C-alpha cells in the first residue's frame, strides 16, 4: 500500500518524535510512504488561515490534493487537525463543481488541476479501514496488557461528522478505541475524549487553554488511565507541554504521559521506545515504559 505522505507542520516542527515514529511504524506495517509528491505542499491553514480567507485555504488544499492526484496516490495525514481541515475543504470543493473550477483557475499556472478524486485519510483510519484489524492484529508482537489508556481524538477528526464521512464509515467514531484494544491495552473512557484540548486558544486565552488541559488529563487520570493516546500532534503539544502548568493551576500532580498514536502502535510492533523518541516528551514516559518492561 502506497500513500502520498502529508506529515503536516507540527511533525516536522515541534513534534519530530511523531514523524520518526510514523516512519518506523509504516515500515513494519507495509505502508509505503511517498515523501516526494507532496514535498512542496503547503500548510492546510489549520482553520486559522480559513478565518481570514476561506477561499485561500481551499485553494491551498486543492493544490495539495492535485499533487497527490497527479502522483496517482491516496493521501495520508498524521494529524487530526490536518485531517479535518482537508476533509472540510474537500467537501466544499467536490460538492460544488463551479467553485472547484474557479479554484482550479488559480492552480493552472503551476500546471495543477484538482479533479476531486482525493480522499484524505489519517493513519488511524488507514489502520482500521485499509489494513484492517485482522491484519493489524497479526503484526502485533508485544501485547501491552495491563496498560490503561485514555483516548483523545482531537476535535477535527470527529467533527463535523458529515465532512469526515462518519455516515459511510461509522467505525471511525471508535477507531482509536479499536486500536487501543488491538494492542492489548484497556480503554479508559471519559467524556473529554472528543472535546477540545485547548491548543487553538493557547496564545489567546492561556488560562482557559490550561484549564482544558487540566480537566481532561485529571479526569482521565482519576478514571485510572496510565497514559493518554492521541492522533493529533496539536493536542499532544498542549496536553503534554502544558501539563505542568495545568498541574500548578489545579494544584495537584497529574503526571499523565501523552502518547502519539504511532508511538503506541510502534510499542506493540516491538519498536524500541527511543527510536520513536518517547524519551523526548515533557511529561516523562519513563515510569510507564518501565512498567511495560520496555524501558528506554
Partner 1 sequence: MEVKLSVRRYDPESTNTVPHFQEYQLEMDEAATVLDALIQIREDVDGTLSLRCSCRSAICGSCAMRVNGEAGLACNTKVIDALPSDGTAIVIEPAGNLPVIKDLVVDFQPFWDQVKSIEPWLQPAGEEPEGEYLAPDEDMLHLAGVVSCILCGACVSDCTVLEVDSNFLGPAALAKAYRFVGDPRDDADGKRLKALNEEGGVWDCTRCMKCVEVCPKGVAPMDRIMSLREKVMDAGHTNTNGARHATAFVDSVRHSGWLDELKLPIKSFGIFNLKAMISLIPLAIRSQRAGKVPPLIHKNIPEVENVRRIFDKVENKK
Query: Cβ 30 to partner 1, closest distance in Å?
Result: 28
Q: What is the CA radius of gyration of the chain?
A: 19
Question: Should residue 83 be labelled a site residue for partner 1 when binding is judged by CB under 8 A?
Answer: no
101 pairs with which residues across the strands?
none
Question: Should residue 14 be labelled a site residue for partner 1 when binding is judged by CB under 8 A?
Answer: yes
Query: Cβ 163 to partner 1, closest distance in Å?
Result: 10
Question: Should residue 146 be labelled a site residue for partner 1 when binding is judged by CB under 8 A?
Answer: no
Q: What's the rounded Cα separation, in Å, for the pair 87 and 135?
A: 26
Cell numbers standing for residue 125: 483510519
Choose, by CB under 8 A, the member of 1, 94, 140, 282 that binds partner 1: 282
Choose, by CB under 8 A, the member of 242, 263, 269, 278 that binds partner 1: 242
Choose, by CB under 8 A, the member of 32, 55, 287, 291 that binds partner 1: 55
Question: Should residue 201 be labelled a site residue for partner 1 when binding is judged by CB under 8 A?
Answer: yes
Residue 260: phi and psi, rounded to 5, are: -70, 145
Cell numbers standing for residue 176: 482509536
Question: Should residue 296 be labelled a site residue for partner 1 when binding is judged by CB under 8 A?
Answer: no
Residue closer to partner 1 (CB basis): 52 or 251 = 52
Query: Cβ 17 to partner 1, closest distance in Å?
Result: 7
Choose, by CB under 8 A, the member of 37, 45, 175, 288 that binds partner 1: 45
Asked if 24 and 54 count as a contact pair (C-beta separation under 8 A), the reply is no
Number of residues that bind partner 1 (CB under 8 A): 62
Q: What string marks each residue from 101 to 140 as x (binds partner 1 by CB under 8 A) or -?
A: -----xx-xx------------------------------
Question: Should residue 207 be labelled a site residue for partner 1 when binding is judged by CB under 8 A?
Answer: yes
Q: What's the rounded Cα separation, in Å, for the pair 184 and 92?
A: 39
Residue closer to partner 1 (CB basis): 216 or 221 = 216
Choose, by CB under 8 A, the member of 33, 68, 127, 155 that binds partner 1: 155
Choose, by CB under 8 A, the member of 212, 220, 256, 278 that binds partner 1: 212
Residue closer to partner 1 (CB basis): 60 or 179 = 60
Q: What's the rounded Cα separation, in Å, for the pair 114 and 67?
A: 8
Question: Should residue 156 be labelled a site residue for partner 1 when binding is judged by CB under 8 A?
Answer: yes
Q: Which residues bind partner 1 (CB under 8 A)?
A: 9-10, 12-17, 39-43, 45-53, 55-56, 59-60, 63, 106-107, 109-110, 155-156, 159-161, 191, 195-196, 198-208, 211-212, 215, 241-242, 244-245, 277, 279-282
Amino acid at each position: 500500500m502506497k500513500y502520498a505522505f502529508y506529515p503536516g507542520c507540527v511533525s516536522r516542527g515541534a513534534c519530530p518524535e511523531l514523524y520518526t515514529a510514523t516512519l518506523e511504524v509504516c515500515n513494519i506495517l507495509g505502508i509505503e510512504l511517498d515523501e516526494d509528491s507532496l514535498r512542496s505542499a503547503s500548510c492546510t491553514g489549520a482553520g486559522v488561515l480559513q478565518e481570514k480567507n476561506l477561499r485561500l485555504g481551499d485553494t491551498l488544499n486543492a493544490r495539495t490534493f492535485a499533487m497527490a492526484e497527479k502522483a496517482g496516490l491516496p493521501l495520508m495525514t498524521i494529524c487530526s487537525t490536518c485531517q479535518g481541515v482537508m476533509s472540510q475543504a474537500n467537501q466544499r470543493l467536490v460538492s460544488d463543481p463551479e467553485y472547484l473550477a474557479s479554484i482550479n483557475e488559480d492552480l493552472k499556472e503551476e500546471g495543477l488541476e484538482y479533479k476531486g478524486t482525493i480522499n484524505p485519510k489519517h493513519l488511524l483510519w488507514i489502520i482500521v479501514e485499509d489494513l484492517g484489524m485482522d491484519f493489524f492484529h497479526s503484526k502485533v508482537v508485544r501485547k501491552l496488557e495491563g496498560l490503561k489508556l485514555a483516548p483523545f481524538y482531537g476535535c477535527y477528526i470527529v467533527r463535523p461528522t458529515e465532512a469526515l464521512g462518519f455516515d459511510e464509515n461509522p467505525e471511525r467514531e471508535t477507531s482509536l478505541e479499536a486500536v487501543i484494544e488491538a494492542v492489548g491495552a484497556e480503554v479508559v473512557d471519559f467524556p473529554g475524549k472528543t472535546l477540545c484540548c485547548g491548543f487553538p486558544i493557547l496564545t489567546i486565552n492561556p488560562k482557559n487553554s490550561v484549564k482544558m488541559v487540566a480537566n481532561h488529563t485529571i479526569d482521565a487520570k482519576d478514571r485510572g488511565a496510565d497514559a493518554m493516546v492521541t492522533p493529533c500532534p496539536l493536542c499532544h503539544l498542549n496536553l503534554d507541554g502544558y501539563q505542568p502548568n495545568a498541574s500548578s493551576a489545579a494544584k495537584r500532580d497529574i503526571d499523565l504521559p501523552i502518547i502519539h498514536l504511532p508511538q503506541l502502535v510502534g510499542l506493540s510492533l516491538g519498536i524500541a521506545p527511543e527510536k520513536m523518541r518517547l524519551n523526548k516528551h515533557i511529561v516523562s514516559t519513563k515510569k510507564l515504559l518501565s512498567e511495560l518492561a520496555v524501558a528506554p
